[in-house]
Amino acid sequence: AERTYIMIKPDGVQRGIVGNIISRFETKGYKLVAMKTKQASQELLDTHYCDLVEKPFFPKLRDYMMSGPVCCMVWEGKEAVVTGRKMLGATNPLASEPGTIRGDFCIEVGRNICHGSDSVENANKEIALWFEESELVDWESHSKDWIYE
Ligand code: GTP
Ligand code: MG
């Protein structure tokens, strides 16, 4: 089954939005495969955001991402990557639709609460970057026949 890497950024943790975000993925029907809090290192962020390191805003992005703990999660289910992105909303929160996480909880792109993988390929890379294989739990949800036909 498809997996995506969802990370609640330091502002989401500090503002107490962790539970709400977990609840949205849970009630959607996705399965929680791994979760932990972590203090991100510079090295980890340089790898995670390797496509953005040359951007002028990157130093600020890295400071933001290191300003407190992040909450790292792996969610699994049908089309989890593209649906996870929809649930997060547009990158710029003022353009995010109400009902999305960013649309409901934040205002600025530099404080946009959460990260979601943008492709299956990147999801697999990010999961391998942030988690040890042994931290990913393979389990069967008792709700699966009520979520999938
Ligand atoms: P992520 O799910 O966090 O990867 O966001 P995204 O895929 O919607 O956007 P992208 O990967 O292009 O950018 C990663 C993150 O960098 C964004 O979520 C923002 O937090 C930050 N970012 C992107 N563009 C800007 C910008 O113009 N200014 C600032 N300050 N931050 C930005
Ligand atoms: Mg991105």
pLDDT in tens, 105-139: 999 999 999 999 999 999 999 999 999 999 999 99
Of 115, 123, 127, 131, the catalytic one is 115
What are the residue ranges of helices labelled H in 79-149?
A: 80-88, 101-105, 120-130, 144-147
* ipTM exceeds 0.85: yes
Query: Which residue's structure tokens are 């931290």?
Result: 135
**Average model confidence (pLDDT) across the chain:** 98
Residue 148: the pLDDT is: 98
Residue to substitute in 4, 49, 70, 109 for testing ligand 1 pocket (most ligand atoms within 8 angstroms of CB) = 109
User: What is the rounded distance in angstroms from the CA atom of residue 33 to the CA atom of residue 31?
Assistant: 6
